[in-house]
Structure 1
Amino acid sequence: MNKCVVCGKEGDTHHIIHKDEGGLEYPLNRIYLCNEHHRGINGPHRDPEVDMKYKKELQMTLHELFPDSFYREEDIRKRAKLSNSLLRTLVKTLKRDKEGFRKVDIIDFLMSGYQLVEDDEHDFLI
Protein backbone atom coordinates (compact mmCIF):
# COMPACT_ATOMS: atom_id res chain seq x y z
CA MET A 1 0.00 0.00 0.00
CA ASN A 2 1.32 3.42 -0.96
CA LYS A 3 0.55 6.35 1.27
CA CYS A 4 -0.56 9.85 0.34
CA VAL A 5 2.40 12.24 0.51
CA VAL A 6 0.14 14.87 2.11
CA CYS A 7 -1.80 13.02 4.82
CA GLY A 8 -0.53 9.43 4.93
CA LYS A 9 -3.85 7.79 3.95
CA GLU A 10 -3.91 5.10 1.28
CA GLY A 11 -2.97 6.74 -2.00
CA ASP A 12 -3.22 6.26 -5.74
CA THR A 13 -0.63 7.15 -8.35
CA HIS A 14 -0.59 10.75 -9.53
CA HIS A 15 1.57 11.73 -12.50
CA ILE A 16 3.12 15.13 -11.80
CA ILE A 17 3.35 15.87 -15.52
CA HIS A 18 -0.06 14.43 -16.35
CA LYS A 19 -0.35 11.73 -19.00
CA ASP A 20 -2.56 14.03 -21.10
CA GLU A 21 0.23 16.62 -20.94
CA GLY A 22 2.67 14.08 -22.37
CA GLY A 23 3.94 12.97 -18.97
CA LEU A 24 6.38 10.08 -19.01
CA GLU A 25 6.24 6.88 -16.99
CA TYR A 26 9.18 6.97 -14.58
CA PRO A 27 9.36 6.99 -10.76
CA LEU A 28 10.21 10.67 -10.30
CA ASN A 29 7.09 11.69 -12.24
CA ARG A 30 4.85 9.80 -9.79
CA ILE A 31 3.65 10.58 -6.31
CA TYR A 32 0.91 8.97 -4.27
CA LEU A 33 -2.14 10.94 -3.23
CA CYS A 34 -5.35 9.92 -1.47
CA ASN A 35 -8.61 10.65 -3.29
CA GLU A 36 -9.09 13.95 -1.43
CA HIS A 37 -5.59 15.24 -2.19
CA HIS A 38 -5.64 13.85 -5.74
CA ARG A 39 -8.99 14.89 -7.21
CA GLY A 40 -10.46 16.97 -4.40
CA ILE A 41 -10.80 20.74 -4.36
CA ASN A 42 -7.22 21.14 -3.09
CA GLY A 43 -5.73 18.50 -5.39
CA PRO A 44 -3.58 19.07 -8.48
CA HIS A 45 -6.43 18.25 -10.88
CA ARG A 46 -8.58 21.10 -9.53
CA ASP A 47 -6.11 23.56 -8.02
CA PRO A 48 -3.57 24.99 -10.50
CA GLU A 49 -1.33 26.24 -7.67
CA VAL A 50 -1.02 22.74 -6.20
CA ASP A 51 -0.35 21.34 -9.68
CA MET A 52 2.35 23.99 -10.24
CA LYS A 53 3.90 23.22 -6.83
CA TYR A 54 4.36 19.53 -7.71
CA LYS A 55 5.79 20.40 -11.14
CA LYS A 56 8.20 22.90 -9.56
CA GLU A 57 9.33 20.27 -7.04
CA LEU A 58 9.94 17.77 -9.86
CA GLN A 59 11.97 20.30 -11.83
CA MET A 60 14.05 21.18 -8.75
CA THR A 61 14.66 17.49 -8.06
CA LEU A 62 15.85 16.96 -11.63
CA HIS A 63 18.22 19.93 -11.40
CA GLU A 64 19.65 18.47 -8.17
CA LEU A 65 20.06 15.02 -9.77
CA PHE A 66 21.78 16.49 -12.83
CA PRO A 67 24.18 19.18 -11.56
CA ASP A 68 26.73 18.74 -14.37
CA SER A 69 26.44 19.98 -17.96
CA PHE A 70 26.64 16.60 -19.75
CA TYR A 71 25.72 12.97 -19.03
CA ARG A 72 26.16 9.55 -20.61
CA GLU A 73 23.27 7.12 -21.15
CA GLU A 74 23.90 4.85 -18.19
CA ASP A 75 24.28 7.76 -15.79
CA ILE A 76 20.97 9.23 -16.98
CA ARG A 77 19.22 5.88 -16.51
CA LYS A 78 20.57 5.44 -12.99
CA ARG A 79 19.97 9.00 -11.80
CA ALA A 80 16.39 9.26 -13.11
CA LYS A 81 15.61 5.54 -12.61
CA LEU A 82 14.48 5.17 -16.21
CA SER A 83 13.34 1.94 -17.79
CA ASN A 84 15.43 0.67 -20.69
CA SER A 85 12.64 1.53 -23.14
CA LEU A 86 12.33 5.12 -21.88
CA LEU A 87 16.11 5.50 -22.03
CA ARG A 88 16.04 4.29 -25.66
CA THR A 89 13.37 6.90 -26.43
CA LEU A 90 15.49 9.61 -24.78
CA VAL A 91 18.56 8.54 -26.77
CA LYS A 92 16.62 8.58 -30.06
CA THR A 93 15.00 11.94 -29.26
CA LEU A 94 17.91 14.00 -27.94
CA LYS A 95 21.03 15.18 -29.73
CA ARG A 96 24.21 13.68 -28.34
CA ASP A 97 27.26 15.94 -28.15
CA LYS A 98 30.75 14.46 -27.92
CA GLU A 99 30.61 15.03 -24.13
CA GLY A 100 27.24 13.27 -23.87
CA PHE A 101 23.67 14.52 -23.54
CA ARG A 102 23.14 18.07 -22.32
CA LYS A 103 21.58 18.57 -18.88
CA VAL A 104 19.08 21.12 -20.22
CA ASP A 105 17.87 18.67 -22.89
CA ILE A 106 17.60 15.79 -20.40
CA ILE A 107 15.51 17.86 -18.00
CA ASP A 108 13.34 19.20 -20.82
CA PHE A 109 12.70 15.62 -21.98
CA LEU A 110 11.90 14.36 -18.47
CA MET A 111 9.60 17.35 -17.86
CA SER A 112 7.87 16.58 -21.20
CA GLY A 113 8.72 20.06 -22.41
CA TYR A 114 7.30 21.81 -19.34
CA GLN A 115 9.97 24.13 -17.98
CA LEU A 116 9.10 26.37 -15.08
CA VAL A 117 10.17 29.98 -15.47
CA GLU A 118 9.86 32.29 -12.50
CA ASP A 119 9.55 36.03 -12.24
CA ASP A 120 9.11 38.11 -9.09
CA GLU A 121 5.35 37.56 -8.92
CA HIS A 122 4.45 34.39 -10.83
CA ASP A 123 5.56 30.94 -11.92
CA PHE A 124 4.98 30.04 -15.57
CA LEU A 125 5.23 26.78 -17.46
CA ILE A 126 6.58 27.14 -20.96
Structure 2
Amino acid sequence: MDKQCIECGHHHPEEHHIVFRSQQKAMINCPHNKITLCYKHHRGDSSPHMVREIDVEYKKNLQQRLGYLFSLKECYSEEEIKEILMITNSDARKLVKSLITIIIDDDVGYKVEDIIRQCMGGRLYI
Protein backbone atom coordinates (compact mmCIF):
# COMPACT_ATOMS: atom_id res chain seq x y z
CA MET A 1 0.00 0.00 0.00
CA ASP A 2 1.37 3.39 -1.02
CA LYS A 3 1.56 5.87 1.85
CA GLN A 4 0.17 9.34 1.40
CA CYS A 5 0.40 12.70 3.14
CA ILE A 6 -2.37 12.84 5.75
CA GLU A 7 -3.01 16.49 4.86
CA CYS A 8 -3.16 16.51 1.05
CA GLY A 9 -2.88 12.90 -0.11
CA HIS A 10 0.41 13.48 -1.95
CA HIS A 11 2.28 10.25 -2.58
CA HIS A 12 5.82 9.57 -1.30
CA PRO A 13 5.53 11.48 1.99
CA GLU A 14 8.10 11.81 4.73
CA GLU A 15 7.77 10.37 8.22
CA HIS A 16 7.09 12.95 10.93
CA HIS A 17 7.59 12.26 14.63
CA ILE A 18 4.81 14.02 16.54
CA VAL A 19 6.81 14.01 19.77
CA PHE A 20 10.23 15.01 18.53
CA ARG A 21 13.27 12.86 19.22
CA SER A 22 14.66 15.59 21.46
CA GLN A 23 11.49 15.51 23.57
CA GLN A 24 11.29 11.73 24.18
CA LYS A 25 13.82 9.32 22.68
CA ALA A 26 11.81 6.25 23.78
CA MET A 27 8.99 7.25 21.38
CA ILE A 28 11.19 7.40 18.25
CA ASN A 29 10.11 3.96 16.99
CA CYS A 30 6.55 4.02 18.34
CA PRO A 31 4.17 3.77 15.37
CA HIS A 32 1.58 5.87 17.22
CA ASN A 33 4.08 8.74 17.26
CA LYS A 34 4.53 8.78 13.48
CA ILE A 35 2.47 10.36 10.73
CA THR A 36 3.16 10.78 7.03
CA LEU A 37 3.41 14.26 5.56
CA CYS A 38 4.57 15.46 2.16
CA TYR A 39 7.60 17.74 2.06
CA LYS A 40 5.40 20.87 2.04
CA HIS A 41 3.35 19.81 5.07
CA HIS A 42 6.41 18.42 6.91
CA ARG A 43 8.99 21.14 6.36
CA GLY A 44 7.22 23.98 4.56
CA ASP A 45 5.77 27.24 5.86
CA SER A 46 2.60 25.47 7.09
CA SER A 47 4.32 22.58 8.86
CA PRO A 48 4.57 21.44 12.47
CA HIS A 49 8.24 22.45 12.39
CA MET A 50 7.32 26.02 11.46
CA VAL A 51 3.85 26.64 12.99
CA ARG A 52 3.45 25.94 16.71
CA GLU A 53 -0.35 25.61 16.45
CA ILE A 54 -0.02 22.77 13.92
CA ASP A 55 2.59 21.03 16.09
CA VAL A 56 0.38 21.32 19.19
CA GLU A 57 -2.67 20.03 17.29
CA TYR A 58 -0.79 16.88 16.25
CA LYS A 59 0.41 16.47 19.84
CA LYS A 60 -3.12 16.84 21.22
CA ASN A 61 -4.34 14.18 18.78
CA LEU A 62 -1.56 11.81 19.87
CA GLN A 63 -2.29 12.48 23.53
CA GLN A 64 -5.96 11.68 22.96
CA ARG A 65 -5.02 8.46 21.13
CA LEU A 66 -2.73 7.46 24.01
CA GLY A 67 -5.58 8.15 26.44
CA TYR A 68 -7.72 5.73 24.48
CA LEU A 69 -4.97 3.08 24.29
CA PHE A 70 -4.47 3.26 28.06
CA SER A 71 -8.14 3.50 29.04
CA LEU A 72 -8.84 -0.01 30.32
CA LYS A 73 -7.00 0.20 33.65
CA GLU A 74 -5.60 2.72 36.13
CA CYS A 75 -2.05 1.43 35.92
CA TYR A 76 0.04 -0.60 33.47
CA SER A 77 3.20 -2.68 33.81
CA GLU A 78 6.31 -2.02 31.73
CA GLU A 79 5.50 -5.09 29.62
CA GLU A 80 1.95 -3.86 28.94
CA ILE A 81 3.27 -0.42 27.99
CA LYS A 82 5.74 -2.05 25.60
CA GLU A 83 2.98 -4.08 23.93
CA ILE A 84 0.48 -1.22 23.70
CA LEU A 85 3.01 1.23 22.25
CA MET A 86 4.69 -1.46 20.11
CA ILE A 87 8.15 -0.43 21.29
CA THR A 88 11.25 -2.39 22.27
CA ASN A 89 12.13 -3.56 25.79
CA SER A 90 14.88 -0.95 25.83
CA ASP A 91 12.53 1.88 24.86
CA ALA A 92 9.95 0.75 27.42
CA ARG A 93 12.67 0.77 30.10
CA LYS A 94 13.69 4.32 29.08
CA LEU A 95 10.07 5.43 29.21
CA VAL A 96 9.35 4.19 32.74
CA LYS A 97 12.82 4.86 34.17
CA SER A 98 11.77 8.01 36.04
CA LEU A 99 8.17 6.98 36.81
CA ILE A 100 6.96 5.97 40.27
CA THR A 101 5.70 2.41 40.63
CA ILE A 102 2.22 2.10 42.17
CA ILE A 103 -0.06 -0.72 43.29
CA ILE A 104 -3.80 -0.61 42.50
CA ASP A 105 -6.00 -3.63 43.21
CA ASP A 106 -3.02 -6.03 43.11
CA ASP A 107 -1.79 -4.50 39.83
CA VAL A 108 1.78 -3.21 40.02
CA GLY A 109 2.71 -0.63 37.44
CA TYR A 110 2.59 3.01 36.45
CA LYS A 111 -0.27 5.52 36.51
CA VAL A 112 -1.89 6.23 33.15
CA GLU A 113 -1.44 10.00 33.43
CA ASP A 114 2.27 9.55 34.20
CA ILE A 115 2.70 7.17 31.26
CA ILE A 116 1.02 9.58 28.85
CA ARG A 117 2.95 12.58 30.19
CA GLN A 118 6.21 10.67 29.73
CA CYS A 119 5.24 9.64 26.19
CA MET A 120 4.48 13.27 25.39
CA GLY A 121 7.97 14.40 26.41
CA GLY A 122 7.11 15.44 29.94
CA ARG A 123 4.03 17.57 29.39
CA LEU A 124 0.33 17.27 28.74
CA TYR A 125 -1.57 19.39 26.22
CA ILE A 126 -4.96 20.83 27.11
Whether 2:93 is the aligned partner of 1:88: answer yes
Q: Which residue of 1 aligns with 2:5?
A: 4
* Alignment TM-score, normalising by the size of structure 2: 0.83
1:76 Cα deviation after fit: 1.2
Q: Distance in 2 between matches of 1:48 and 1:91?
A: 28
Q: Distance in 2 between matches of 1:39 and 1:86?
A: 27
- Taking the TM superposition and a 5 Å limit, the aligned residue runs for 1:26-41 are 26-41=30-45
SS of residue in 2 equivalent to 1:32: strand
1:114 Cα deviation after fit: 2.3
Among 92, 104, 112, the residue aligned to 2:113: 104
Q: Which residue of 2 aligns with 1:62?
A: 66
| Length, aligned pairs only | 117
* 1:73–1:20 Cα change, 3 Å: closer
Give ranges in structure 2 of 5+ residues lacking alignment: none
Which whole-Å deviations, capped at 9, do the CAs of 1:45-71 have from their partners, x for residues lacking one?
111111111000000001011112111
1:20 Cα deviation after fit: 3.2
SS of residue in 1 equivalent to 2:121: coil
* Alignment TM-score, normalising by the size of structure 1: 0.83
SS of residue in 2 equivalent to 1:14: strand
Identity of matched residues, %: 38
Which whole-Å deviations, capped at 9, do the CAs of 1:50-109 have from their partners, x for residues lacking one?
111100000000101111211122221111112111112123322211232110111011
Give ranges in structure 1 of 5+ residues lacking alignment: 118-126
Which whole-Å deviations, capped at 9, do the CAs of 1:21-64 have from their partners, x for residues lacking one?
34531211111111011111211111111111100000000101
Among 48, 58, 70, the residue aligned to 2:52: 48
Q: Is the contact made by 1:2 and 1:12 (CA closer than 8 Å) also made in structure 2?
A: no
1:116 Cα deviation after fit: 0.6
What residue identity is the alignment partner of 1:116? Answer: Y
